[in-house]
Amino acid sequence: MKTLSDCEFTAFISYAHDDDVAWFNWVSDFRAELERGLSARLRGLRLPRMHLSGSNGPVSGLLSEELKERVAASYAMIIVVHDNYAQSDWCLKELEYFKSLFGDEGFRDRLYIVAMGETAIRQVTSSEAWRRLLPTSDQLWIPFFEQGDKERPVSVYLDRGLVAQEFREPFERLREDFVRKLRRASPPPAAAPIIVAAAPPATDAARRNGGVVFGFAPPGLTPAASAVADQLRALGLSARFLNTDAVFSDFRDFADADALVLPFDDSPALMSFYPGGHLALQRDSWLKKGKSAESLYWLDLRPAPAGSPAPNGGAAFVAASGAAGLGPDALVNAFRPAPPPALAEQGVHLYIESNRNERTLWSPLGEQIRRKWDEVFEHLDPPRVPPLYLRARGLPVEQIDSFTGLDDADGVVLLWGKKTADALVAQIHKVEGKLPGRDGAPGIVAYLMPPQQGTEPIPAWGWQVLRFRADDEDTIDVVDEERDDLKRFLQKVFERRRRRDVAIARA
């Protein structure tokens, strides 16, 4: 799924425009308070704007390409349900498209359901379409309706613009959950999301941000071309469609695009006034904008693409011009990111302290951290080929003074078992003295319970302290509350290794 930095919208708000009108701009006020609240709670984090989907949306029909783009460009979805939403299949189509892009994981982590009225939400959630979308989900909706009149949403404001208490309570529940997830999705630069290590895409079009434009074509090709566009969006690309009105704007949309896809089959030219018809017109206009011929792709949508082209059809024009048509799979593969280059050494070195009190703990602790590493990186997309394997190494701290340095360390873990806080600080100073300067390996302190007994977060001395249950050496593991912190540490280790690989390649 896309990271927040890749999204144009923080959330796509799906609702029925008439519900907003009927209840005095309730959805618009909700959106305004959410934008203000998130900005205040996440100062310093760039948050894209919210998108209100129903501003001018119809009540039925197919989702437009523009609307699909906006759903795909959103980090989360918030659906707001009242009577008109329950009577329209349009909003459910938006939800269905969101699931096609983000899957069950997106429904669990990036979907919020706001209920303006009890009858409407129960009508929607009991419908066949809803059960099909969420067959086994325990997704809960949040009530924003009055307890005395459950068909009336709670007022957003009191007099003079003050937020009403009845609105504040469910709103803060939603907002704080969203804040937690946005923070998790936006770690500090040193712990950047894993996506930063993805290989550069295979084509110039995929490397840049202008995206792909699909030219206009006979109406019968629209479903097949839309399916190809959806696959490109799944790769993280922007894909949008022209209509014939582009002729009157001198193809203005070409200016910012990186690639043009022209769908064709055996249908004849759409425009008789231009030699070669619509395909020649769009091709020539693309090249006149200074675009390269290599950034123009011909999408062959004939039922039997290997057959002979029909006379005077689109395929005949493409063949006569010497261009090569690509089938849907071949075109998507042309934009698919290339795998990263193989590396000679794939071991990631994590040094774990061993001392006279916990001499045997580093190995089982390293095994547990290795399992977490595999869990974090096994779903890397695109996959790392070959993968990076975490290798735990014991660090005998009694001999640290004899070490020339820890230049090959990708991460360091110090143990806080029986040593005092002062002894830990002294150990940190010794290890930091062996790490290289500005680009030294990240480190954490493993707070072992037992022998330590603290149950609250522990203060650190420049190092993050994570609590580990150590009742049994074979099952030593981080406490549940700090699993995300361990994951972020491993992301730092990954980023450290990536920087080292880049430096080695340059050398």
Q: What is the mean pLDDT of residues 488-503?
A: 82
Contact 238, 211 (CB under 8 A): yes
Q: What is the mean pLDDT of residues 295-314?
A: 85
What's the pLDDT at 202? 38
Q: Which amino acid is at 198?
A: A
Highest average pLDDT, of 83-87, 297-301, 375-379, 431-435, comes from: 297-301
Q: What is the mean pLDDT of residues 432-450?
A: 83
Average pLDDT, the chain: 81
Residue 1 pLDDT more than 50? yes
Contact 115, 152 (CB under 8 A): no
ω into 386 cis (within 30 of 0): yes
What's the pLDDT at 195? 27
Q: What is the mean pLDDT of residues 297-313?
A: 84
Give which of 123, 122, 67, 132 is closest to 94, Cα–Cα. 67
Q: Which domains does the chain carry?
A: 4-186 (3.40.50.10140), 204-335 (3.40.50), 347-506 (3.40.50)
Report the side by side order of strands in the sheet with 141-143.
49-52, 9-14, 74-81, 111-115, 141-143
% the chain with pLDDT above 90: 24
Contact 229, 65 (CB under 8 A): yes
CA distance 121 to 127: 10
Cα 335–Cα 340–Cα 343 angle in degrees, nearest 5:
165
Assessment of whether the complete model's pTM goes beyond 0.75: no
Give SS3 for 492: helix
Contact 76, 117 (CB under 8 A): no
Contact 414, 425 (CB under 8 A): no
What's the pLDDT at 180? 87
Confidence of residue 77 (pLDDT cuts 50, 70, 90): very high
